Amino acid sequence: MRKKLLAAAVLAVAVVLAAGCRKKDTSSGDSRIVIWGDEKAAEVPVTETSEKEATEAVHEEDLATKKEEQAEPEKGKGTFDGWADSGSVEIRMSDGSYQTFFVESNEVRKALNQKGEGSEITFSHGAVEGQVNRKIISVE
């Protein structure tokens, strides 16, 4: 998990640095990142993603409804892979897939921290209205 965070931080710094070196060829509309080194600059084409394209991955039917939020919690088993951020965790489910869950309860937060990364856990989870990710309600 720490390696992932370090890699993400390095990538973020690289993106910020690259953004500062960006120039736009207005004649062809072609964006390129220019990497400055010695006397020659190597140009690398950039693929731009519009905001619309970036949000198309989430569809309305994927979002939880109020009815789903009020439904009985489900049980889950998996390996606690670590904290994605201060309010969510990544779990490798028993079927091998990875899922991100919200953690809202201090009781759940403490239980996960006590078990530690890499621990097998059994937990109950429920839907959150308007969200794709579910939340962990309790950890056994």
Domain 62-139, CATH among 2.40.50, 3.40.980, 1.10.3470, 2.60.120: 2.40.50
Residues 125 and 113: their CA atoms lie apart, in Å, by: 17
31: β partners:
24
Q: Is the pLDDT of residue 101 over 80?
A: yes
Please give the angle made by the CA atoms of 81, 110 and 84, to the nearest 5 degrees: 35
Give the contacts of 128 (CB within 8 A, at least 6 positions apart): 64, 69, 102, 134, 135
Among 35-49, 75-89, 91-105, 114-128, the least confident range: 35-49
Please state the domain extents for the chain.
2-48, 62-139
- 59: alpha, beta or left? (left if phi > 0; alpha if psi -120 to 50): beta
**Residue 61 gets which letter from DSSP?**
G
Q: Is the pLDDT of residue 70 over 60?
A: yes
